[in-house]
Amino acid sequence: MNFRHRSLRSNLVVLVAVLLGAISALTHAQDTNITVSSTTSTEQSGLFAFLLPQFQRATGITVKVVALGTGQALDVGRRGDADVVFVHDQPAEEKFVAEGAGVQRVAVMYNDFVLIGPADDPAKATGKDIAAGLKAVYAGKARFVSRGDNSGTHAAELRFWKQAGLEPASEKPSWYRDTGSGMGAALNTAAAMNAYLLADRGTWLAFKNRQNLRIIVEGDSELFNQYGVILVNPKKHPHVKAHAGKKFIDWLVSAEGQAAIASYKIGGEQLFFSNARK
């Protein structure tokens, strides 16, 4: 009996080995494609769907985009699972380069954050000053949805609260809802709760389930949202497609790439403003 079972088991081992071999044969990597870990804002606003075909025509390189929050996107790069990271949280990006995970941070483009809120603005936060707007939300104990996911927008939100001299994230009042979700999910939550939240303009413009929400604060220079692109360090991760990744970065900051970024519009409104500095 024992002998028979052993033969069954060894058959199983052979089977697994054969299957693993077959799958890996199906999926060998090509050098003409790179993986970019980026943020939900660039993907969900439709920017990549607009840009990448143009880049492919120019260079023949296909770009696979994994869209995550900035914190997670940088972590994917840190583990060596992407060739290029394209995110928007300058302090976190500089740390990424300083610790040797990335080669060099290159500024590509910017857009801006907007404070979104209920159309009737119960907290009377409407204006052009983000600190004043947040103070009004705080004073009015109006419902506020936070991303709470260590994303670039979440980092910006915490920074703006701090500049307003307030810290609801650590006080945890009941009106401050830490949702731990992506931009789109947080917008859906805010729409359902009729709450305030901070969003990037691109995702807001592309977002369809707005219900009763509108822009409450915009145009403050503090709301500036810079995007940067970094090649993952090939010295740390030898499999990184440094050559093709560099080509992608070079194209983004080239006159052609910068013009392409600036020409992307939704409903006649420009979403991203190219500002690569050589």
Partner 1 sequence: MSVFADALVAAGQLLLTADASLGDITLLSLRVSATATLIAALLGLPLGAWVALTGSRLRLPTLVVLNASMGLPPVVVGLVVYLLLSRSGVMGPLGWLFTPAGMVMAQTILITPIIAALARQTIDDAHLSLRDWFNSLGLSATQRVATLLFEARFSLAVVLLAGFGRAIAEVGAVMIVGGNISGSTRVMTTTIALETSKGDLPLALALGALLVALVLIINGAAQWLKSWLEQQRG
Which positions touch partner 1 (CB under 8 A)?
1, 4-5, 7-9, 11-12, 15-16, 19, 23-24, 26-29, 35, 40, 44, 48-49, 64-67, 79-81, 182-185, 187-188, 191, 206-210, 237, 239
Q: Which is nearer to partner 1, 45 or 258 (CB)?
A: 45
Q: How far is the CB of 109 from partner 1 (least distance, A)?
A: 20
Contacts of 203 (CB under 8 A, 6+ apart): 40, 41, 44, 45, 183, 184, 187
Question: CB of residue 17 vs partner 1: minimum separation in angstroms?
Answer: 12
Nearer CB in complex with partner 1: 102/168:
102
Minimum distance between the CB of residue 44 and partner 1, rounded to whole angstroms?
5
To partner 1, the closest distance from the beta carbon of 61 in angstroms equals 14
65 vs 216, beta carbon nearer partner 1: 65
Tell me the C-alpha distance between 206 and 260, whole Å: 18
For residue 67, the number of C-alpha atoms closer than 13 Å in the C-beta half-sphere is 14
Q: What is the DSSP letter of 175?
A: T
Minimum CB distance to partner 1, residue 89 (Å): 20
* Residue 26 C-beta: closest distance to partner 1, Å: 7
Q: 30 vs 174, which CB is nearer to partner 1?
A: 30
Q: Which of 54, 49, 98, 63 is nearest to 78 (CA)?
A: 98
Q: Would you say 113 and 204 are in contact if contact means Cβ atoms under 8 Å apart?
A: no
Closest to partner 1 by CB, 63 vs 109, is: 63
Q: How far is the CB of 162 from partner 1 (least distance, A)?
A: 27
Judged by CB, which is closer to partner 1: 81, or 129? 81
Between 163 and 209, whose beta carbon lies closer to partner 1?
A: 209
Q: What is the CA radius of gyration of the chain?
A: 22
Residue 268 burial (CB < 10 Å; 0-12/13-18/19+)? exposed
Question: Which residues, listed in sequence order, are joined to residue 85 by a DSSP beta bridge?
Answer: 37, 230
Task: Say how many CA atoms lie within 13 Å of 87 toward its Cβ.
Answer: 37
* Helix, coil or strand: residue 231: strand
Name the strand (E) or helix (H) holding 265. strand 265-266
